[in-house]
């Protein structure tokens, strides 16, 4: 029961039930607004009956040449609406936009190395661990950079895993 | 520009770079040193000056920075224009912005643009300045100029957006819309449009003028292909068709959307609305709250019966088709759609009511194991009659009992049944014992199913977590019905137990924080609120969970932090909002430009923000009120209260916005307007969540409160000014200048009670003279008491001594205040119960009386004393005998005595409670739980928890077993006792400081 539409500012006033979740970060305003101002097609919300916010995804598109890619910054689903493949729907939508509208080569995302449920979910959605980023989260926990190749990357070059882990300062994009 | 005039404001890049590097790495001292060096070489360079100003501002020297900026600006205006580049201007702009002098930055750019005509870079800078100032007209003019220079689509759209903003924020914009349309049309003829966002704006310009046909034409023409996602295009098309009144085609469009996205509930509602021609959300006269846009249709369709039937059967077969096609996917919309169709039939008066229930049952059969089942159908269950609700519940239970399924699904279904019970409020008519049984059943079910979650990651939600929230709500209901404190304690136990098993369950934390607040254990409430990690925009939407109770608690320092963090967030956002808007302009997301400006307006008018500003000022006064000089310094700050006065203006109050998200509030949690738990049990009335969100009463009340609280700091200021300036040392009243203002403020204050000043004064007089009881003043008692204090100040500086009472006698306003405070405190404290066993009692009332009413009155007293008994150099030549004989001084002395004795009585009440040993308090609370004997009443649930936590069943897994071991109900009780103790100690401290002050005042008079 999902109307997926662009996220708008007023949704910030209604997403508290989603953001109370301890793994969902509530960013500062300029972060949200920058995403809305620059990549509105990559920031979508799923709304259910009674105008309830079920979950949302925020992302962007960036990079040069063959590393032109879509990036998932956050994807989250409210407790009540879990276990019904909503995250998958939101991810598919972002992949679709990266693939068809922006002709990106791949989509990537970062996840805490300890967040096994999320890693498993991304794997099910076709993402592979491309590389490990040492101490990516607040200088403490490692992050995994996961990728899924899009149709433009015919040879799937973008997802060949790197052999060694990298440090955050080696990242091309933040 | 830079190529023409040289790099970096005419200064070689290599000389400037180190300065910027130092600034970026916050090495301001060395930056300043470098900048001084640079200035010695380029003393007249506006850029070098701007850099120095920037550094000084960062170093916290705003005045020096401003002076240098102004010098730079003058040099720009007078000096050889060779150095007037965007780099210089934008550096100056940064500093001016940080100094809140946007006007100066704008004037620099205006000058530059006047000097170098058609320079695009400078014009963009100027446009940006106008964006920051929200000068929509000037934005438009500048954008048009840029458009004329280069004919680029983006500049035209900047102008069009500026026009739209003018239309939105001022009246009479029709002509402007025509202008925007004409500009776009002309551009399209020669250039067409190339950005999807430009197309959206064009459509919206046409739509705003009700030119739906034209908009549809644009959409279906070549430019329509700019919208790459077909569903997006169809949604706009459907909306335009519906607004144009072409319901039939609109319905077809929405049908198409549903074929592409069969789970799109909003489109389904539009589809049905267009089909039955009753969709209200397109109608112009319906002003929807943008936060809660679409509501269900609540008026019957006007179609003839025959047409209605045929359309409904069309809808039914379409829905059936969708159901069949999506049968293998977890798609619920077509099934919920079925329920909505039945609801519409019923609305039309055509339905066999059994069908609606049958549709709900069908939904139950398919989706009852899902956590969202109840919220999906909530809106439908609400419209059923009481008997229908019970019938539905009975049938659901039957299906539930007979449907074979997996343990996890079974658990989900059980939870759904409990949730439906909670929703229809059926438990309110159950006998107490049955309710207890329900709670036990829920807790046992939670514990019995823990093993299902043993392999889950600790971060993941466990199965059945909702059960404990529902058990808590039932226990609170039991408390409401029986007033037995034990149930509340058990509610706390259940939640604390759940959090021991998994510490991330935010639902438990919210319930707990309200329970602890109700028990007066504010530190615990505040602590749990802290664990919710509420920050940024959540401060605006969910602070309502904690702020109201903290405002009336004695934890002033925690309250200070809370308010500070919230206001900082709001102010920071207001400061950066315009720059973010400009970012949207730059990235050509024009629809976001409009949205951002509207959103900024919305937050700027947040009722919580205005209240936060008022309460911060009041809090500052509370915290300094023991020191008269400090209070005067704060009050003397001209910005301190004048801005607040604006908040209570009618316009401000009308445009207040309500952004708090109340979805997470339990029905029983008190709001400033309603506290069910303090009222007698009303036998089954069930508070509906919606009524909290949309309560008109709530909004009206908030407006009154803001109106009143925003006057308060100024009232304190004018009151003490009047009393010190207008009293001669012999007690005579001099010509007064402040009292007209005081009178005016009090008139506004009285107005917030809906009364004239005279009538309001009559109320306090009658209350003081026992003709009216304090209770009749209701929840506004404190406001009335504060009013009485300021009325005394008014009479103090008027030549009419005292208030005219009913017999035409003049009653001393001092006496009235003394009497009222005594009635509120001394008489009440005699019957006040300890907070340990009497939750929701008098504590917060006493806190407010002492920290506000008594504090304001003490300030007025101090102000009088200063006039009557001058000390030190100010000493006037009046003999002590004259002073002591003055009737005013005698009134003051009596008032001091009276205040001292009432505060003393509160302190005795506190001392008695603080003096009780901790273990004794723990035993008292435990005695409410019948720990040993638990056949009925509170204690049974705790019994279950005790039994479960003693388990060593390895089936539960290591993690859960370990959690059991750390669980201790006595620790929970101890925490409550300690939390209450902290609150009492803080309040004791406040009382002590007031008593000390009054004592010193007494001494100052007797020593004079």
Give B538's contacts in chain A (Cβ within 8 Å).
16, 19, 26
Name the residue in chain A with its Cα closest to that of B295: A50
Q: pLDDT tens digits, residue range B225-235?
A: 999 889 999 99
Q: Is A61 on the interface with B (CB under 8 A)?
A: no
Provide the pLDDT for residue B5.
Answer: 40
Residue B507 is encoded by which pair of tokens?
């639902």
Q: Are B164 and B178 in contact (CB under 8 A)?
A: no
Within 8 A of B333 by CB-CB distance, chain A residues are 1-2
pLDDT at B363 over 80: yes
Measured from the Cβ of residue B564, the count of other Cβ atoms closer than 10 Å reads 13
Using an 8 Å Cβ cutoff, are B283 and B266 in contact? Answer: no
> B916: Cβ–Cβ under 8 A, 6 or more apart, which residues?
B836
Predicted confidence (pLDDT) per residue in B721-747, tens digit: 887 766 665 656 565 555 889 999 999
Q: What is the DSSP string of B626-657?
A: T-HHHHHHHHHSHHHHHHHHHHTSHHHHHT-B
Whether residues B370 and A37 touch (CB distance < 8 A) is answered with: no
Q: What is the arithmetic mean of pLDDT over B748-757?
A: 94
- The model's pLDDT over B398-429, given as tens digits with 9 standing for 90+, comes to 999 988 789 999 999 999 999 999 998 888 88
pLDDT of the residue at B171? 76
Q: What is the largest CA-CA distance in chain B?
A: 101
pLDDT tens-digit series, residues B101-119: 999 999 999 999 998 889 9
Is the Cβ–Cβ distance between B190 and B152 less than 8 Å? no
Mean pLDDT of A7-29: 96
> Model confidence over B809-852: pLDDT tens digits?
667 889 999 999 999 998 889 889 999 999 988 899 999 999 99
pLDDT at B6 over 50: no
Under 8 Å between Cβ of B150 and B134: no
| Minimal CA separation from A47 to chain B, in Å | 9
Chain B hits for A34, Cβ within 8 Å:
580, 583
pLDDT surpassing 50 at residue B276: yes
Q: Do B291 and A29 lie within an 8 Å CB cutoff?
A: no
Chain A (132-161) residues lying within 8 Å, Cβ to Cβ, of chain B? none
Report CB contact under 8 Å: A26, B664.
no
In this complex, do A37 and B589 lie within 8 Å of one another by their Cβ atoms?
yes
- B903-933 pLDDT, tens digit each: 999 999 999 999 999 999 999 999 999 766 6
Query: What 8-state DSSP symbol labels residue B151?
Result: -
Q: What is the pLDDT of residues A83-116, one digit of tens each?
A: 889 999 999 999 999 999 999 999 999 999 999 8
Between strands A106-112 and A69-77, the pairing is parallel
Residue closest to A40 by CA, chosen among B594, B161, B193, B230:
B594
**Are A37 and B587 in contact (CB < 8 Å)?**
yes
For the whole model, what pTM was predicted?
A: 0.94
B291 and A10: CB-CB below 8 Å? yes
Candidate from B461, B535, B598 with C-beta closest to A79: B461
Residues contacting B196, CB < 8 A, separation 6+: B226, B227, B228
**Interchain CB distance below 8 Å, A1 and B591:** no
Mean pLDDT value across residues B607-630 = 91
B664–A33 CB contact, under 8 Å? no
Write the DSSP string, B830-876: HHPPPTTTSTTSSHHHHHHIIIIIIHHHHHHHHHHHHHHS--GGG--
Task: List helix spans (H) across B605-756.
Answer: 607-624, 628-636, 638-647, 650-654, 689-694, 696-725, 739-752
Kindly tell me if the per-residue pLDDT of A76 is higher than 90.
yes
Residue B606 per-residue DSSP state:
B
Please state, as a whole number, how many other Cβ atoms lie within 10 Å of the Cβ of residue B244. 18
Whether A112 has its CB under 8 Å from any CB of chain B: the answer is no
Predicted local distance difference test score (pLDDT) of residue B799: 57
Mean pLDDT value across chain B? 89
- The radius of gyration of chain B's CA atoms, rounded to the nearest angstrom, is 34
Q: Using the beta-carbon criterion (under 8 Å), do B460 and A115 form an inter-chain contact? A: no
The residues that bridge with A111 in the sheet, in sequence order, are: A144
Question: Which residues in chain B are contacts of A37 at CB distance < 8 A?
Answer: 580-581, 583-584, 587, 589, 592, 596
Residues 6+ apart with CB under 8 A from B639: none
Say whether residue A162 is in contact with chain B using an 8 A CB cutoff. no
Q: How far is B396 from chain A (nearest CA, A)?
A: 20
**A50: chain B residues, CB-CB within 8 Å:** 375, 378-379
- Tens of pLDDT, residue by residue over B933-967, are 667 889 999 999 999 999 888 888 888 999 999 99
Residues B83-96 have a mean pLDDT of: 87
Q: What are the chain A neighbours of B584 within 8 Å (beta carbons)?
A: 36-37
DSSP A166: B
This complex has an ipTM of 0.96
Tell whether A32 lies on the interface with B, counting CB pairs under 8 A: yes
A2 touches B: beta carbon within 8 Å: yes
B530-588 pLDDT, tens per residue? 999 999 999 999 999 999 999 999 999 999 999 999 999 999 999 999 999 999 999 99
pLDDT at residue A102, rounded to an integer: 95
Report the gap between the CA of A147 and the closest CA in chain B (Å): 23
| Cα(B267)–Cα(B16) distance, integer angstroms | 58
Q: What is the pLDDT of residue B282?
A: 63
Instruction: Give the 3-state secondary structure of residue A148.
Output: strand
Predicted local distance difference test score (pLDDT) of residue B459: 85
The region that residue B98 occupies, defined by phi over 0 for left and psi between -120 and 50 for alpha, beta otherwise, is alpha
Q: Which residues of B touch A46 (CB under 8 A)?
A: none
DSSP notation for B51-100:
HHHHHHHHTT-HHHHHHHHHHHHHHHHHS-GGG--HHHHHHHHHHHHHTT
Nearest CB to B375 within list A3, A22, A80: A80
Instruction: Report residue B326's pLDDT band, with 50, 70 and 90 as the boundaries.
Output: confident
**Does the beta-carbon distance from A33 to B294 stay under 8 Å?**
no
The span from the CA of B900 to the CA of B770, in Å, is 22
**For residue A29, is pLDDT > 90?**
yes
Residue A114, min C-alpha distance to chain B (Å)? 10
Report yes or no: A85 at the B interface, CB cutoff 8 Å.
yes
Q: What are the residues facing A132 on neighbouring strands?
A: A144
| Nearest residue of chain A to residue B455 (CA atoms) | A117
pLDDT surpasses 50 at B667: yes
Confidence band of B351 (pLDDT split at 50, 70, 90): confident
B599 and A10: CB-CB below 8 Å?
A: yes
How far apart CA B643 and CA B641 sit, in angstroms, is: 5
User: Is B595–A23 a contact, with Cβ atoms under 8 angstroms apart?
Assistant: no
Closest CA of chain A from B413, distance in Å:
14
**What is the average per-residue pLDDT within B474-484?**
94
């Amino acid at each position: 029961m999902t109307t997926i539409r662009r996220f708008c500012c007023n949704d910030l006033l209604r997403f508290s039930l989603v953001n109370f979740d301890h793994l969902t970060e509530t960013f500062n305003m300029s972060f949200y607004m920058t995403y809305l101002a620059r990549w509105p097609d990559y920031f979508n919300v799923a709304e259910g009956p009674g105008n309830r916010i079920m979950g949302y995804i925020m992302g962007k598109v960036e990079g040069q040449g063959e590393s032109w890619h879509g990036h998932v910054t956050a994807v989250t689903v409210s407790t009540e609406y879990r276990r019904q493949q909503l995250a998958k729907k939101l991810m598919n939508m972002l992949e679709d936009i990266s693939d068809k509208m922006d002709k990106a080569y791949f989509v990537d995302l970062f996840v805490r190395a300890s967040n096994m449920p999320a890693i498993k979910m991304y794997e099910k959605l076709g993402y592979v661990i491309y590389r490990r980023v040492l101490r990516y989260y607040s200088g403490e926990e490692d992050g995994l950079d996961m990728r899924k190749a899009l149709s433009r990357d015919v040879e799937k070059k973008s997802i060949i895993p790197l052999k060694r882990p990298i440090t955050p300062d080696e990242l091309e994009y933040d | 520009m830079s190529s023409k005039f040289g790099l970096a404001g005419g200064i070689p890049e290599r000389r400037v770079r180190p300065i910027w590097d130092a600034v970026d790495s916050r090495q301001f001292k060395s930056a300043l040193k470098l900048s001084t060096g640079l200035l010695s070489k380029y003393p007249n360079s506006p850029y070098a000056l701007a850099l120095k100003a920037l550094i000084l501002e960062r170093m916290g020297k705003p005045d020096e920075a401003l002076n240098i900026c102004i010098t730079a600006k003058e040099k720009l205006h007078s000096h050889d224009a060779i150095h007037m580049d965007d780099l210089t201007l934008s550096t100056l702009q940064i500093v001016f912005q940080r100094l809140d002098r946007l006007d100066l930055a704008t004037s620099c750019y205006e000058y530059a643009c006047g000097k170098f005509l058609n320079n695009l870079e400078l014009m963009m800078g100027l446009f940006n300045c106008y964006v920051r100032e929200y000068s929509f007209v000037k934005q438009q003019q500048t954008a048009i100029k840029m458009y004329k220079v280069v004919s680029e689509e983006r500049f035209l759209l900047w102008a069009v957006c500026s026009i739209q903003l003018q239309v939105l924020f001022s009246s009479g914009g029709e002509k402007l819309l025509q202008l925007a349309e004409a500009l776009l049309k002309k551009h399209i003829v020669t250039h067409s449009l190339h950005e999807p966002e430009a197309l959206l704006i064009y459509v919206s310009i046409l739509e705003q003028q009700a030119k739906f046909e034209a908009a549809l034409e644009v959409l279906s023409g070549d430019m329509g292909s700019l919208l790459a996602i077909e569903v997006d295009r169809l949604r706009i098309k459907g909306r335009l068709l519906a607004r144009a009144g072409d319901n039939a085609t609109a319905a077809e469009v929405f049908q198409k959307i549903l074929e592409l996205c069969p789970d799109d509930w909003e489109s389904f509602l539009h589809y049905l609305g267009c089909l039955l021609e009753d969709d209200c959300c397109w109608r112009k006269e319906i002003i929807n709250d943008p936060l809660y846009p679409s509501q269900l249709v609540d008026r019957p369709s006007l179609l003839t019966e025959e047409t209605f039937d045929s359309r409904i059967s069309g809808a039914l077969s379409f829905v059936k088709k969708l159901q069949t096609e999506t049968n293998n996917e977890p798609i619920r919309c077509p099934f919920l759609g079925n329920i909505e169709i039945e609801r519409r039939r019923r609305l039309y008066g055509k339905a066999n009511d059994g069908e609606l229930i049958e549709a709900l049952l069908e939904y139950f059969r398919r989706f009852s194991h899902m956590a969202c089942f109840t919220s999906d159908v909530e809106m439908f269950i609400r419209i059923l009659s009481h008997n229908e609700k019970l019938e539905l519940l009975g049938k659901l239970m039957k299906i539930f009992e007979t449907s074979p399924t997996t343990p996890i699904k079974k658990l989900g279904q059980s939870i759904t049944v409990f949730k439906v019970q909670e929703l229809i409020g059926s438990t309110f008519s159950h006998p107490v014992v049955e309710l207890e049984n329900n709670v036990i059943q829920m807790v046992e079910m939670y514990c019995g199913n823990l093993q299902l979650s043993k392999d889950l990651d600790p971060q993941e939600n466990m199965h059945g977590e909702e059960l404990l929230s529902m058990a808590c709500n039932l226990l609170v209901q039991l408390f409401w019905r029986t007033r037995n404190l034990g149930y509340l304690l058990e509610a706390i136990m259940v939640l604390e137990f759940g959090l021991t098993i998994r510490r991330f369950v935010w639902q438990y934390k919210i319930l707990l924080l309200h329970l602890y607040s109700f028990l007066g254990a504010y530190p615990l409430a505040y602590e749990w609120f802290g664990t919710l990690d509420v920050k940024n925009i959540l401060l605006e939407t969910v602070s309502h969970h904690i702020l109201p109770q903290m405002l009336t608690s004695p934890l002033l320092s925690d309250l200070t932090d809370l308010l500070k963090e919230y206001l900082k967030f709001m102010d920071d956002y207001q400061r950066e909002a315009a720059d973010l808007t400009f970012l949207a302009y730059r990235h050509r997301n024009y629809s976001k430009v409009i949205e951002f400006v509207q959103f900024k307006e919305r937050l700027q008018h947040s009722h919580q923000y205005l209240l936060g500003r008022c309460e911060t000022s009041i809090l500052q006064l509370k915290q300094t009120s023991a020191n008269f000089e400090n209070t005067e310094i704060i009050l003397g700050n001209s910005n301190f209260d004048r801005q607040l006065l604006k908040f209570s203006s009618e316009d401000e109050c009308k445009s207040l916005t309500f952004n708090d998200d109340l979805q997470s509030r339990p029905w029983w949690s008190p709001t400033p307007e309603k506290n069910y738990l303090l009222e007698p049990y009303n036998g089954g009335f069930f508070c509906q969540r919606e009524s909290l969100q949309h309560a008109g009463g709530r909004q009206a009340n908030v407006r009154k409160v803001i109106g009143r609280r925003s006057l308060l700091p100024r009232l304190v200021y004018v009151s003490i000014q009047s009393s010190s300036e207008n009293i001669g040392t012999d007690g005579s009243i001099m010509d007064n200048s402040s009292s007209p203002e005081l009178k005016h403020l009090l008139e506004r204050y009285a107005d917030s009670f809906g009364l004239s000043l005279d009538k309001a004064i009559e109320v306090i007089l009658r209350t003081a003279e026992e003709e009216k009881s304090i209770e009749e003043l209701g929840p506004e008692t404190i406001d009335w008491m504060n009013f009485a204090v300021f009325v005394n100040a008014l009479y103090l500086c008027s030549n009419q001594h005292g208030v005219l009472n009913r017999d035409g006698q003049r009653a001393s306003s001092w006496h009235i205040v003394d009497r009222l405070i005594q009635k509120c405190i001394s008489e009440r404290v005699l019957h006040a119960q300890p907070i340990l066993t009497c939750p929701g009692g008098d504590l917060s009332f006493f806190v407010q009386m002492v920290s506000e009413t008594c504090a304001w009155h003490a300030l007025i007293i101090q102000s009088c004393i200063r006039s009557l008994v001058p000390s030190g150099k100010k000493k006037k030549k009046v003999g002590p005998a004259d002073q002591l004989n003055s009737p005013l001084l005698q009134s003051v002395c009596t008032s001091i005595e009276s205040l001292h004795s009432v505060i003393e009585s509160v302190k005795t009440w506190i001392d008695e409670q603080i003096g009780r040993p901790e273990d004794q308090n723990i035993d008292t609370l435990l005695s409410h739980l019948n720990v040993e004997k638990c056949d009925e009443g509170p204690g049974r649930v705790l019994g279950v928890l005790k039994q479960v936590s003693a388990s060593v069943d390895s089936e539960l897994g290591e993690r859960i077993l370990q959690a059991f071991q750390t669980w201790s109900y006595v620790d929970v009780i101890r925490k409550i006792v300690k939390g209450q103790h902290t609150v009492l100690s803080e309040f004791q401290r406040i009382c002590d400081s007031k008593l000390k002050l009054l004592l010193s005042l007494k001494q100052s008079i007797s020593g004079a």
